[in-house]
Amino acid sequence: MNHRLIASQLTLLLYLAIPAVAQEVRTPPAPAPAVNPPISRIAFGSCSTQDEPQGILRTVLDWEPELFIYMGDNIYGDTRDMQILQQRYDTLNRRPEFRQLRAKVPLIATWDDHDYGENDAGREYPFKQQSKEIFLKFWNEPVVSPRREHDGIHTCYRFGDPGSGQSLQIILLDTRTFRDPLFKSPQGSWKNDYLPDLDPQKTLLGDQQWAWLKERLMEPADLRIIGSSIQFAHEHNGWESWTNLPRELLRMVDLIRQTRASGVLFISGDVHWGELSRLQAPNCYPLYDLTASGLNQDWDRLEPNGNRLGEACMDFHFGMLEISWGATPSVQLRIHDMTGRSRVRRTVRLSELTFPRG
């Protein structure tokens, strides 16, 4: 099936605003995340096999980030043997570049398929609970943590007091634990043949995570970074992404509109190239998605993306968010390669990420 045709159909869906099927789930309010001091320099990346050098992490340190977000495929586990999965985390932990980063910069993380346990896996993966325990232990999750009290690994961090003008919310989604199987073209020959599935019963985040996310978006924040291990705002290309479950994509847009959550931007990984995408949905401000995917993994084919702004980066790279708090707050979205050179760069004023008053 022609990917351009599919993309145009998805665009039409956005403008028709097909109602997302949502079942309200009543859950006890989650404990309020601890408020950390405000920060302004955040680096992130994904797709790093533990079996190869990770010299780019030394370049990350040159930029002196105050936080590093691992966005998934942080190791390549791909196993149903939890001893092997643990061994692969241990291999990463022995990497001197990783140990140096961990010693100097706070790290937070979500997962994608390869550290979840299986290529392109969703809720059907039978060892997700065991994998979660290994994940939380490796990333030093506190013993008393909401992350340990619910299914999945979604979580939220806060930096800066609400009302201070420097309030940052970082929401890390879990796009694996609850996701229903994707629809693949019967004529497909390889894994980039996923097609948009309009089945109203299928979910990406699951009802409990959706209810949790609504609570988070109703909290005050000047800037909200939503970390999704798979791409959100790009044009459909047949690989894993939100575009394969377009009703769930619409549900996200609808939730942002419904909660009037200002300051939302997305970061993502997975695809082994870096790019900046912008989705313009009806009655919503532009939704930017900065993809940084390839700490030590690359790819030889760049997929078309009509939502891409500027050029893509096909070399090893990481993402960087530089926040300017002040009278005219803004965030600069960047992709840096191994040399530290900026390959993607765009500044977005926070005033652009708001709904009209009233």
% of the chain at pLDDT higher than 90: 86
pLDDT at 339 over 60: yes
pLDDT band (50, 70, 90) for residue 27: very low
Give residue 185's pLDDT: 87
Instruction: Report which of residues 185 and 129 the model is more confident about.
Output: 129
Output the six-digit token pair for 23.
């079942």
Residue type, 22: A
Q: How far is CA 49 from CA 66, 79, 93, 141, 188, in A?
A: 24, 14, 12, 22, 27
Q: Is the separation of the CB atoms in 36 and 77 below 8 Å?
A: no
Averaged pLDDT score across all residues of the chain: 92
Residues 6+ apart with CB under 8 A from 129: none
Instruction: For 140-168, write each residue's pLDDT tens digit.
Output: 999 999 999 999 999 999 999 998 999 99
Phi and psi at residue 248, to the nearest 5°: -75, -35
Q: Give CA–CA dist 154/329, Å, rounded.
A: 28
Give the helix/strand (H/E) hosting 295: none
Length of the chain: 358
Kindly report the CA angle at 296 between 300 and 57, in degrees rounded to 5?
Answer: 145
Give residue 24's pLDDT: 44
Give the helix/strand (H/E) hosting 56: helix 56-62
Q: Which of 16, 25, 63, 29 is nearest to 43 (CA)?
A: 63
Give residue 5's pLDDT: 46
- For the ranges 32-46, 155-169, 253-267, the lowest mean pLDDT is seen at 32-46
The distance in angstroms from the start CA to the end CA of the chain is 43
Give residue 181's pLDDT: 97
**Pairing relation of β-strands 287-291 and 264-268?**
parallel
Q: Give CA–CA dist 29/354, Å, rounded.
A: 26
Specify which residues 70 forms β-bridges with: 45, 109
Instruction: Report which of residues 17 and 203 the model is more confident about.
Output: 203
Q: Which of 308, 310, 341, 345 is nearest to 330 (CA)?
A: 345
Give residue 18's pLDDT: 44
Q: Which of 184, 241, 225 is nearest to 333 (CA)?
A: 225
Residues 6+ apart with CB under 8 A from 209: 152, 154, 173, 174, 178
pLDDT band (50, 70, 90) for residue 19: very low
pLDDT band (50, 70, 90) for residue 134: very high
Give residue 113's pLDDT: 98
Residue type, 179: R
Mean pLDDT value across residues 331-349:
98
pLDDT band (50, 70, 90) for residue 70: very high
CATH topology of domain 3-352: Purple Acid Phosphatase; chain A, domain 2 (3.60.21)
pLDDT band (50, 70, 90) for residue 357: confident
Output the six-digit token pair for 146.
């909401």
pLDDT at 327 over 50: yes
In this structure, what DSSP letter does residue 105 have?
S
Q: Give CA–CA dist 344/71, Å, rounded.
A: 18
Residues 6+ apart with CB under 8 A from 196: 6, 9, 10, 183, 236, 243, 244, 245, 246
Mean pLDDT value across residues 63-69:
98
Give residue 17's pLDDT: 46
Give residue 186's pLDDT: 85
Instruction: For 167-219, write each residue's pLDDT tens digit.
Output: 999 999 999 999 999 999 888 766 678 999 999 999 999 999 999 999 999 99
pLDDT at 4 over 90: no
pLDDT at 10 over 70: no
Give the helix/strand (H/E) hosting 342: strand 342-349
Give residue 21's pLDDT: 40
Task: Classify residue 154 as exposed, middle or buried by CB count within 10 Å of its CB (0-12, 13-18, 19+).
Answer: buried
State the alpha helices, DSSP H only, in 154-228: 207-217
In three-state secondary structure terms, 35 is strand
Q: Is the separation of the CB atoms in 293 and 234 below 8 Å?
A: no
